[in-house]
Structure 1
Amino acid sequence: MTIIRQTSLFGIQELYKMEPTQRYDSIISEIDVDRIFHEVNKKSRRGAPVELNYAAMIISSFIRIVERIPTIKDLVKRLNDDFVFKLNCGFLVSDETPSEAAYSRLLTKLSDSSVLEEEQKKVVLQAIVEGFISDNTVAIDATHFEARDQAPPKEDKPKTEPKKRGRKPKEEREQWLLEQAEIEANLPLYEKKIEAQLDVPLTDLRAEVPQAPKWGIKKNSEGKNVFWYGYKGHLAVGTSSQYILQSLFSSGSLNDGKAAIPLLKGVKELALSSLRYQTMDAGYDYEPIYEQVHRMGNQSIIAYNKKNEREPIGFDKYFAPTCFREHSYRYDSFDANYETLKFTRPKECSSCPLANEGICQKVYKVKITQDLRRYTAPARGSKAWRTIFKRRTAVERVNAYLKEFFQLNNVRYRTGKRAKVHFDMITLIYNASKLAADRMNARLNQHKTA
């Protein structure tokens, strides 16, 4: 058995160097296959008898991801050609190899069930119980992947009548406002403003996520727009453990910020006592997201998006107060009881001729509830804030790892429901692999201590 050297993301690579039988057993043993089998197994005695080994089909579907087998057709061929591989997948000598159609029916049953999401949560909770997840920071981000089908031609939008210039009369404006409010109230949940999600239960938020393939747009590292037709995977990742604590599958057109509150509410349900910070990039800079993080008792470490806003007078670009000569006060500490940031005099005060004139305050205090978006703990621009924000790269590493090693970029299904099964399987296998590697590390450390 290959020695697992450390409990890091790369421990999974060491796991994959093991013999196939040991590797499959280590990963699949973390998943309750019996529960998934019960969900997809035939419930009625009526109709044609079931002759397929559904348990082995489920295991082989997971192993397809582990072994990076691109298609179901290739999986069936491998089962037919490699007798040892077939046995490793749990099939008996007497079992016939399932057809592609049989696997298609299995995926249909899984797409009509939430069993994969429930298994994902069980694996995460087990890792928390065993002490492998004790993060104080969660990083949230989205990644895109293309659909199998070619994108449909873009439809020409109907031309609208040009808007009348000038201010509407009072009665006409009131009527227009009522019409707009009615239109907003009748919109689907994810087409409304983000604040509409704050008081919606998590089950409803997950049930209404749009899943059909759509056109998406995102800026790349060079600041250029990238277009694709397909889906998005939204992840909430523990920055030190690098487990996927929550995941969400959506259409490619869904704004990243509209997936944040469902992810945050899912993280809250885990009741992770060590958690203190939620970190995200500027695409999540919306007031309702800060409000949700505050309701969780955590702090938001989110990059600020100016959105054509002017800098307030008497404050610097990080919203720290400035003195009479416009030097920034220094962040000192945060009082959690009163939710107050404390700033002290700028270092330039030591040589300032106005220092003893009583013009500038020695200490400046600001409650973060005054503006949750601008005032965070630790304060924006401080060394502590930058240190925590750098942890956000953990979710980017996990996204890249899922694409490179777990076939996230290889969606072979035409509908959003089946593509979601593919996504759920990938995140479940990733977490199961992490848990298997962490358990091996724990056993190895016990042997060394003994």
Structure 2
Amino acid sequence: MERDEATLYIRQQCLISFEDALKMQPETRLEKIFSTLDLYPIISRLPRKHNGPRGYNAKYKLRALIAAKIEQIPTMAALVRRLKNDPVFRYICGFGVIASVPSEATMSRFLRELTETGILKELFKSLVNKAEQMGIIDCTSIAIDSTKIEAYEKTKPRKYVSQNGKSADWGVKRNTDGNTEAWFGYKVHAAVDTKSELPVAITVTPANVHNSEIALKLVKKASSVLVKSPKFYLMDSAYDCNDIYETIKNDFHAQAIIALNLRGTRQPRAGFDFDGTPVCSAGFRMVYWGSDNGVNKFRCPHVLDKAECPFGTDWCSSSNYGMVIKTKIEDDSRLFCSPHRGTKNWQKLYDERTSVERYFGRQKKHLGLESITVQGTKKVETHAYLCAIALIATVTAVNTAEREQKAA
């Protein structure tokens, strides 16, 4: 029986999911979110007292922007109309029931200031910390991936695109059917906790930036935000490069679980199969027999009845235990990992990578991640942060209410 000494996390669901929160009445949902969302420390860091021409409170405007994501209000004009026409919504956001509301221009200026100051990143970080303290975010395994976002601006031929990293560009990727598709726009990159399926780090780039260029930036961001250090970082084959494996191992003391990209690989390393499994002198794959302190152990397949070797065991070893080969992760952090690539425990971890895909699915279906009406990488990133903040705030607030109800 195969053994593995690596400790794996057993998945547990948080008390209440985002989908459960969507079943609530909109007014109740927003009230719960805003009652637990402390915006004052963030608003107080704005460079100046932010009042519009009629003295609109910045806290209320930020509430309205978050509510717009939760209520799937697609544009600033639609948000202003909702504030004008829905007194309950207006009151929950903080504005008076019969008071005036900020104009579209006022809200746009406020959004621009949020982009320039970057304070939404601080709000995002505080919400991640709160979710981690509550045990909603577990941090054991972090999944990393990106999703495409089509630009709001008109497409341009590639030769006219500014290569400054601040605007939309052309990107190419393979879809789930294996077909190549191109789009003009951006990529939203995210690192997601696999237990809660909540983001712990996000960034936005033009569509032409390769995923592997952003992976370590996300790992660094996640590491700086989380109190607990993740043990595993899970990624698909687009991230298969030596630098990612080595940096995660040496600098972050974690294990990269990444599918191998075998395109262009002509033959495996001498004495090994493509996945890092040693091959015996008779040509049989050896049997993985556990990992200890970064050392993987493999045993003779003939002794373990996994292969019928014509030479028997005496050819390789005089011991009844059979020949043993050990590999050290430090010798080749891409080829060797713990748990060993291809084992049930490795596959179990890698399967958790789909949590980041579900995160992007919720963002697009319920929070309007694809419905951008802004241009430029920084503004799109502000949009992505608002969507992420809305998701974490919703899950955290409803879990808080659920726990208080059980404690009562």
TM-score, normalised by the number of residues in structure 1: 0.80
Query: Residues of 1 paired with 2:253 and 2:59: CA distance?
Result: 42
Q: Which residue of 2 aligns with 1:264?
A: 219
User: What SS is found at the alignment partner of 2:135?
Assistant: coil
2: distance between equivalents of 1:350 and 1:420?
Answer: 54
1:42–1:335 Cα change, 3 Å:
same
Residue 367 of structure 2 is matched in structure 1 by 406
Separation in 1, partners of 2:208, 2:307: 54
**1:16 — aligned with what?**
22
Measured in 2, the distance between the counterparts of 1:65 and 1:27 equals: 13
Q: How many residues align?
A: 388
Q: Which residue of 2 aligns with 1:434?
A: 395
What does residue 186 of structure 1 align with? none
Q: Match of 1:233, SS? A: strand
1:142 aligns with 2:146: yes
Letter of the structure 2 residue corresponding to residue 137 of structure 1 = S
Name the counterpart of 1:165: none
- Superposed CA deviations along residues 332-384 of structure 1, whole A, max 9, x for unmatched, are 11112xx2111112134675342332425621101111111111111112121
**Range with greater deviation from structure 2 (72-81 or 29-38):** 29-38
SS of structure 2 residue aligned to 1:263: helix
CA apart distance, 1:84: 2.0
Q: What amino acid is the match of 1:224?
A: N
Flag the 1:287–1:15 CA change in 2: closer, same or farther, 3 A: same
Change (3 A) 1:9 1:391: farther
Residue aligning to 1:302: 258
1:203-251 Cα deviation digits (max 9, x unpaired):
xxxxxx9342111111111222111111111111111121211111111
Amino acid of the structure 2 residue aligned with 1:401 = R
Mapping of residues 55-204 of structure 1, within 5 Å = 55-93=59-97, 95-155=99-159
In 1, Cα distance between equivalents of 2:110 and 2:365: 26
Amino acid at match of 2:231: R
SS of 2:114's partner is: helix
Q: Which residue of 2 aligns with 1:164?
A: none
Contact 2:329 2:336 in 1 (8 A): yes
Compared with structure 1, are the counterparts of its residues 25 and 136 closer, same or farther at alpha carbon in structure 2 (3 Å cutoff)? same
Contact 1:300–1:377 (CA under 8 A) maintained in structure 2 = no
Q: Which deviations, in whole Å up to 9, do the C-alpha atoms of 1:93-139 show, x marking residues without a partner? A: 45322111101110111011121111111111112222222242111
Could you tell me which amino acid in structure 1 is paired with residue 336 of structure 2? Answer: Y
* Whole-angstrom CA distance in 2 between matches of 1:142 and 1:350: 42
Match of 2:6 in 1: none
Does residue 420 (structure 1) correspond to residue 378 (structure 2)? The answer is: no
Aligned match of 1:335: 292
Task: Structure 1: give runs of 5+ residues left out of the alignment.
Answer: 1-5, 158-190, 192-208
Determine whether 1:319 maps to 2:276. yes
Could you report, residue by residue, the CA deviation over 1:260-287 in whole angstroms, capped at 9, with x for unpaired residues? 0111112222454463111100000111
C-alpha distance 350-143 of structure 1, shift in aligned 2 (>3 A): closer
Root-mean-square deviation (CA, aligned residues, Å) is 2.5
Deviation at residue 407 of structure 1 after TM alignment: 0.3
Cα 1:350–1:74, aligned 2, differ >3 Å: closer, same or farther? closer
Deviations 1:130-188 (A, max 9, x none): 2222242111000111111111233289xxxxxxxxxxxxxxxxxxxxxxxxxxxxxxx
* Aligned amino acid, residue 246 of structure 1: A
TM-score, structure 2 as length reference: 0.88
| Structure-2 residue corresponding to 1:27 | 33
**Offset at residue 420 of structure 1 (A):** 1.8
Partner residue in 2 for 1:169? none
SS in 2 for 1:155: helix
Moved more, 219-228 or 34-43: 34-43
Deviation string, structure 1 residues 53-91 (Cα, Å, up to 9, x no partner): 332221111111111011111111122222222112210
Instruction: Identify if the C-alpha distance between structure 1 residues 211 and 441 changes in structure 2 by more than 3 Å, giving closer, same or farther.
Output: farther
Decide whether the 8 Å contact of 1:260 with 1:284 is kept in 2: yes
**Which is worse superposed, 247-256 or 148-157?**
148-157
- What is the DSSP-based 3-state SS (H/G/I as helix, E as strand, rest coil) of the residue aligned with 1:18? coil
Does residue 237 of the first structure (1) align with residue 178 of the second (2)?
A: no
CA contact (8 A) 1:343 1:364 kept: yes
- Which of 232, 236, 251 is matched with 1:277 structurally? 232
The answer as to whether partners of 2:50 and 2:57 remain within 8 angstroms in 1 is: no
2:34 counterpart letter in structure 1:
I
Percent identity for Structure 1 against Structure 2: 29
Q: Deviations for 1:398-448, whole angstroms, at most 9, x for unmatched residues?
A: 01110000100000112332222111111111111121233234345546x
Residues in 1 aligned to 2:143 and 2:295: alpha-carbon distance in whole angstroms: 24
